[in-house]
């Protein structure tokens, strides 16, 4: 390939599957980006300040990157990641960048490599591989461009052809940056999404205090079950005024419950006073998924459930560096039994949309596709996190399509805080989907006109429809 | 492709894998159909009445179809499916057909689409895609043909080149339609299979009454453990007089037990009086699998175990519409531990055949292939239900062959009540197997002469041998 | 193909993926064999006696072979496998060989077939397929060659271009054959590996007596926890004097524990007196994995964990024939929770190497790759046992690379006692890896120069580095 990325990236090597994939991709590659779920910082769009330097932009905040380097013996401190006790870390961005470049070969065969090569070439015009010997030169190129106005957040947003992007904000967030974006008159469409984990999960740090705070910001009495539910309704309505069309729920498991009102109230009262009964705390999380689903039925917010990640698996790292340091490990996740209470309650609703994600691929064909292929309220979110990769996306299609079809899926989520990689991620997803559709056509399982319709659905339309954007 | 189905359907797009697949398929495509496990209605063959209309033939009874439409917001009533309370439903078959046709795009990428296009083209001579605009025309074509004698059940049976087909009948069934077939002098070979779930599973609706009835029809005292077992032996012998060569067992799990005679008798006595102990009811099911295996050892009926489906997952649908409404959801299923009591008892028998199915693909390589690859009594049934699909069958071969080989598998089951789709289903299976064998040859893992032998085994011989047909 | 094996075995059928695979393979096919984990008998290299006959060399000791024949109704006695009670078995090697040859078609599509065809052609110069009609001729050819000096163990070792091979020896082994090899002056590098299951697992036959014996051979007091641990340290040091660079641990599960010293000591005392508490015996095994990991941290032995095999699944076979008769069945294995105590203790160590294996492929993408992709102490062993096969190795790469990369894997293990098949097994692994890398290049996910580097790493360098050989 010339440059870092080939025009035929991820397509079949030759033959009909290649030529069909090229045709399909030509029809979708320039479509606007719809990013219905992600973690970019609304402050960027509000303030529109330049990004600081190549290391801060591309290395330090990317857990895919620092977890791999750490696994091969690089210390987190040497990548600029600060221990909680404030002890010193590498502060020279160029030194961090060099360390990353020297280890870039570790990413061979990973999606990080595909995304970063795409960013280097398409965003920064670089066409020589990143390694120890090119590290400085590429650093200079990127650092120079980041100073230009065309590389500020809003300019990139427009250059990336983003039609709409959702951020994810905690239930207590005042959405000041969303307000600032709106007040600025800038036309970029940035919406929020309601993420209430901190006020729903009794195991979340500072849970009880957060309930107090929830009462303050909502004007509801979170000392009672009724007031607590009202507070959620208030906050959801508030989030809707900043464009929210969805809520998002990151639970350790997919367990749901459907208690009677009286039992739920009693449970809340125990939880509100700091129950240390592990079973009760789990039950409360489970009940709250069903409560959120009922609110979604009433207010129309699309509900996303992201279960099955064991957060902060290493206590050593958690104590030293805090959350989100690459030590979140997927676990086995059941859905057929776990979701039943919720589904018994609202699963047959035709106007409700619940989007399920998984980190346990064994559930795709066995549980998720059969569930989404019959319950009107359920749809399948795209391959998530570790599975947001060419093989992961291919397995997702191969294991869900035959039972759930394409129309019970919802297009792509980039799910990222790595803003410059958003076009790369959507590009990889579009390519993988086109390659999959091309294979179906090449094997005569689908007509070519249908594949073109589907390529458009998967790249653009399904996400807009499912997320009501 | 010209028409709805391409001659190279499901083969590699080009090259040696394509040409080898074509050769292999040419050798097996016209072989007679052996259908050792399915759910067609023996009454059809007995009475040989015309099928009513396109909707009743192709849409209303097919749970693959109505579950997908329901998942996308179509009401079951609008597809002609009657609630138990008798409230009115769509009764115009043309309206049902149109509704189906409008939503036919939902099946893109699913096996239903492959089967139905095959039926439309090869059975009804239709070569234009089904959609809203062709719905009426195709309806007329099909409705017209269904009135012809050549489209009655027996004529279709012969046209489909069915050498033998098994129906599945409950233990209490008087097999009157099988008797009528035999008495009619018609030469089509239709055999029964013994399905005793209703008199083996204490959770089955009306279980205790069914035991009474079992006593009546068998002339045995089902009030005692010995009499109850004798009743099974009687019924199995009766089923054998109508050609049965197999029994079939649809259990929620694969759990088996091997109690002492005394303990089994004691358990039966509690169950016979309506035990409401969930553990006991499970244990009884588990014990009965082993009892059935012992009877198979004695009377030669091949034993089929179909575990792992959570039946009637939605109580809302079950209460309104009853069983089999598309809400059966696969669950995780263990085999290594669950089958051990049964295997300890009869697993080393060389004249016994137990055919295992699964809805949990994770068990293929991990448990089922290792078990079938060593226990003489075990064989692997084909990819089942949601996995009876091109990708599902491919995964089955890829995950079982290297450990269990081809000769511990048993060919294809169509497992369907959708009679007109039987040739389509066998055709898809033959194509997928030929494509798989062609890949092995193209990668030099198998010689071409061996692949031809195997294509014949997989399409025809293994099923006859394994099911003793 | 001419002969039994094709030069393009396991590569893509044609096109760029084929030509790239050929290029990659050309660069690695003649590399020396590094065999860091296996089960060949050091006595062979010490005594250098001729192998007895074709059946004893290739059939009788190979559980892949006799389990398949047994599954299809061949009696173990007829394959020369002796019951423990000494009742007579087939003793004519030619009769055993004929029986095998007649059933050789059962291995179509299995790795055994690939390995054996490779051995027949490349080691014995045979180019006609093995079957009933060629059985005698091939027997004569092989039997004749086995009498030649060039077919004695040391000559084969050199012909196979083995740079180093590890055997696996029990903790109580006096390593006399390793001593004899060293004393002989022969230059072949054969090292041992420390396998302490018999003195770590309370469920191992003769456990308490083995602890006594461990005391004797180590000169430590294995009546106390401190003495018992010292005995392990002594034996590990002793094994290191015979080249050991690794230990190996075959546990039923991956469970680990990290008790306080006092609690561990108390547990040991109960175990030492023959605790029959199943929970305690499990906990002791779990604790010992962590103890071994701590010793590895101190003495530098690479630790291998091989969990998840249910040994001797059939009590009928175990009682009649004893261990290792093909009745080991994989089970579901969890890692994220099971390994946590060990990882909390030593997982962040950068100078410790723990190599994880699995028989449960569902853990590759869900748990093992995420764990190895972040914990510095963890690496992933290659596809193991039933998964040491073309499809198994392909799934391993597809499900681990995107998260863990290539550099958290450790190359190939042949893991075999079938000495003549070692080149065949490494050849299959090299081919599968080259085919995988070629696909990445053909899909533009990797540059060709990188693929050449990786082919060398996967075939040779990673194993040497990971195992410190």
The percentage of chain A sitting over the pLDDT mark of 90, rounded to a whole number, equals 99
CA–CA separation, B401 and B93 (whole Å): 45
Q: Are strands B162-166 and B33-35 parallel, antiparallel or unpaired?
A: parallel
Contact C366 A317 (CB under 8 A): no
Whole-number mean pLDDT of chain B?
Answer: 97
Q: Are A102 and A131 in contact (CB under 8 A)?
A: yes
CA of residue A442 relative to chain centroid, distance: 32
Burial class (CB in 10 A: 0-12, 13-18, 19+), B223: middle
Note the pLDDT tens digit of each residue in A140-196. Answer: 999 999 999 999 999 999 999 999 999 999 999 999 999 999 999 999 999 999 999
Give A3's pLDDT tier (boundaries 50, 70, 90): confident
**Residue A4 falls within a domain, yes or no?**
no
Whether pLDDT at C205 is above 80: yes
Which strand (E) or helix (H) includes residue A302? strand A302-305
Note the pLDDT tens digit of each residue in C422-462. Answer: 999 999 999 999 999 999 999 999 999 999 999 999 999 99
Q: Is the CA virtual torsion B43, B47, B52, B58 positive or negative?
A: positive
Give C349's pLDDT tier (boundaries 50, 70, 90): very high
Is B304 in the same domain as B342?
A: yes
| Distance from the A445 Cα atom to the nearest Cα atom in chain B, whole angstroms | 7
Contact A310 C336 (CB under 8 A): yes
Compare all CA atoms of chain C with the CA of A333 and give the residue at the minimum distance.
C366
Give A276's pLDDT tier (boundaries 50, 70, 90): confident
**Residue C3 falls within a domain, yes or no?**
no
Contact C445 A68 (CB under 8 A): no
Whether pLDDT at C2 is above 70: no
Is C42 in the same domain as C122?
A: no
| Distance from the A166 Cα atom to the nearest Cα atom in chain B, whole angstroms | 25
Structure tokens at B107: 């099946």
Whether pLDDT at C108 is above 80: yes
Is C168 in the same domain as C198?
A: yes
**Residue C9 falls within a domain, yes or no?**
no
Contact B444 C313 (CB under 8 A): no
CA–CA separation, A366 and A362 (whole Å): 7
CA of residue A205 relative to chain centroid, distance: 22
CA–CA separation, C336 and C338 (whole Å): 6
Whole-number mean pLDDT of chain C?
Answer: 97
Give C314's pLDDT tier (boundaries 50, 70, 90): very high
CA–CA separation, C229 and C221 (whole Å): 9
The pLDDT of residue C276: 87
CA–CA separation, A384 and A396 (whole Å): 10
Residues 6+ apart with CB under 8 A from C71: B372, B373, B374, B375, B376, B378, B404, B408
The pLDDT of residue C3: 85
The pLDDT of residue A2: 60
Note the pLDDT tens digit of each residue in A199-234. Answer: 999 999 999 999 999 999 999 999 999 999 999 999
Across the range B20-46, mean pLDDT stands at: 98
Is B202 in the same domain as B265?
A: yes
Is B119 in the same domain as B215?
A: no
Q: Are strands C190-191 and C194-195 parallel, antiparallel or unpaired?
A: unpaired
Give B276's pLDDT tier (boundaries 50, 70, 90): confident
Note the pLDDT tens digit of each residue in B64-123. Answer: 999 999 999 999 999 999 999 999 999 999 999 999 999 999 999 999 999 999 999 999
Is C425 in the same domain as C340?
A: yes
For residue B108, which residues of chain A lie inside 8 Å, CB to CB? 405-406, 446, 450, 454
Contact B405 C70 (CB under 8 A): no
The pLDDT of residue C1: 46
Residue of A362, A371, A374 with shortest CB distance to B70 = A374
Is A137 in the same domain as A173?
A: no
Note the pLDDT tens digit of each residue in B313-339. Answer: 999 999 999 999 999 999 999 999 999
For residue A402, which residues of chain B lie inside 8 Å, CB to CB? 109-111, 386, 389-392
Whether pLDDT at C327 is above 60: yes
CA–CA separation, C120 and B156 (whole Å): 51
Residue of C340, C366, C401 with shortest CB distance to A361 = C366
Note the pLDDT tens digit of each residue in B50-74. Answer: 999 999 999 998 999 999 999 999 9
Partners of A379 in the β-ladder: A355
**Residue A360 falls within a domain, yes or no?**
yes
On whether any CB of chain A is under 8 Å from the CB of C448, the answer is no
Whether pLDDT at A382 is above 50: yes
Across the range B155-173, mean pLDDT stands at: 98
Is C194 in the same domain as C114?
A: no
**Residue A441 falls within a domain, yes or no?**
yes
Q: What ipTM does this complex have? A: 0.97
Whether pLDDT at A1 is above 80: no
The pLDDT of residue B1: 46
For C178, other C-beta atoms within 10 Å of its C-beta total: 24
Note the pLDDT tens digit of each residue in B397-450. Answer: 999 999 999 999 999 999 999 999 999 999 999 999 999 999 999 999 999 999
C4 phi and psi, to 5 degrees?
-90, -25
Residues 6+ apart with CB under 8 A from C367: A329, A330, A331, C334, C335, C336
Structure tokens at C90: 């087939």
Host domain of residue C96: 51-151
Is A196 in the same domain as A316?
A: yes
- Locate tokens 């330049």: which residue? A50
Which letter does DSSP use for residue A409 in this model?
B
On whether any CB of chain A is under 8 Å from the CB of C26, the answer is no
What is the CATH number for A379? 3.20.20.140
**Residue A446 falls within a domain, yes or no?**
yes
Of A151, A168, A195, the position where a domain reaches its end is A151
**Residue B282 falls within a domain, yes or no?**
yes
C219: left (phi over 0), alpha (psi -120 to 50) or beta: left
CA–CA separation, A240 and A299 (whole Å): 9
SS (H, E, C) A3-16: CCCCCCCCCCCCHH
Residue of B13, B73, B111 with shortest CB distance to A376 = B73
Is B45 in the same domain as B133?
A: no
Is A286 in the same domain as A305?
A: yes
On whether any CB of chain C is under 8 Å from the CB of A315, the answer is yes
Is C228 in the same domain as C111?
A: no
**Residue A101 falls within a domain, yes or no?**
yes
CA–CA separation, C122 and C116 (whole Å): 10
What is the CATH number for B123? 1.10.2020.10
Q: What total of structural domains would you count in chain C?
A: 2
- Locate tokens 């060919």: which residue? B411
Of A118, A151, A184, the position where a domain reaches its end is A151
CA–CA separation, C391 and B365 (whole Å): 10
What are the b/e assignments for A382-411, b being 16+ CB within 10 Å? Answer: bbbbbbbbbbbbbbbbbbbbbbbbbbbbbb
CA–CA separation, A298 and C257 (whole Å): 48
On whether any CB of chain B is under 8 Å from the CB of A406, the answer is yes
Whole-number mean pLDDT of chain A?
Answer: 97
For residue C347, which residues of chain A lie inside 8 Å, CB to CB? 314, 316
Number of Cβ pairs closer than 8 Å across A and B? 130
Of A151, A179, A204, the position where a domain reaches its end is A151
């Amino acid at each position: 390939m010339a440059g870092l990325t080939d025009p035929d990236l991820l397509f079949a090597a030759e033959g009909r599957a290649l030529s069909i994939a090229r045709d399909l991709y030509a029809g979708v590659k320039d479509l606007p980006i719809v990013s219905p779920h992600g973690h970019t910082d609304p402050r960027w769009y509000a303030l529109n300040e330049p990004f600081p330097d190549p290391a801060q932009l591309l290395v330090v905040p990317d857990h895919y990157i620092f977890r791999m380097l750490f696994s091969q013996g690089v210390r987190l401190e040497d990548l600029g990641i600060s221990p909680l006790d404030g002890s010193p870390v590498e502060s020279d961005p160029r030194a961090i960048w060099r360390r990353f470049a020297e280890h870039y070969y570790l990413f061979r065969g990973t999606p990080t490599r595909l995304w970063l090569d795409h960013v280097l070439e398409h965003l920064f015009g670089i066409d020589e591989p990143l390694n120890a010997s090119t590290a400085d030169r590429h650093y200079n190129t990127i650092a120079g461009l980041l100073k230009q106005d065309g590389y500020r957040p809003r300019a990139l947003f427009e250059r990336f052809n983003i039609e709409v992007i959702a951020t994810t904000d905690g239930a207590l967030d005042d959405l000041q940056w969303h307000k600032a974006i709106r007040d600025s008159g800038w036309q970029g469409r940035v919406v929020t999404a309601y993420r209430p984990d901190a006020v729903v999960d009794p195991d979340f740090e500072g849970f009880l205090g957060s309930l107090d705070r929830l009462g303050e910001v909502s004007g509801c009495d979170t000392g009672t079950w009724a007031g607590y539910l009202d507070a959620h309704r208030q906050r959801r309505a508030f989030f809707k005024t900043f464009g929210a069309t969805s809520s998002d729920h990151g639970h350790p498991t997919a367990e749901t419950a459907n208690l009677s009102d009286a039992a739920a109230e009693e449970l809340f009262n125990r939880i509100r006073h700091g129950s240390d009964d592990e079973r009760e705390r789990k039950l409360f999380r489970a009940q709250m998924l069903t409560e959120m689903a009922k609110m979604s039925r009433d207010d129309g917010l699309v509900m996303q459930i992201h279960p099955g990640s064991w957060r902060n698996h290493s206590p050593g790292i958690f104590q030293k560096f805090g959350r989100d340091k690459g030590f979140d490990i997927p676990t086995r996740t059941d859905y057929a039994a776990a979701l039943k209470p919720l589904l018994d309650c609202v699963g047959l609703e035709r106007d409700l949309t619940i989007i399920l994600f998984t980190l346990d691929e064994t559930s795709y064909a066995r549980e998720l596709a059969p569930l989404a292929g019959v319950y009107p309220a359920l749809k399948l979110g795209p391959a998530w996190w570790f599975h947001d990769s060419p093989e992961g996306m291919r397995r997702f299609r191969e294991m869900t399509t035959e039972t759930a079809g394409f129309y019970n899926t919802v297009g792509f989520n980039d799910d990222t805080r790595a803003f410059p990689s958003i076009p790369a991620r959507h590009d990889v997803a579009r390519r993988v989907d086109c390659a999959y559709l091309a294979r179906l056509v090449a094997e005569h399982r689908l007509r070519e006109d249908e594949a073109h319709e589907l390529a458009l659905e998967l790249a653009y339309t399904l996400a807009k429809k499912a997320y009501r954007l």
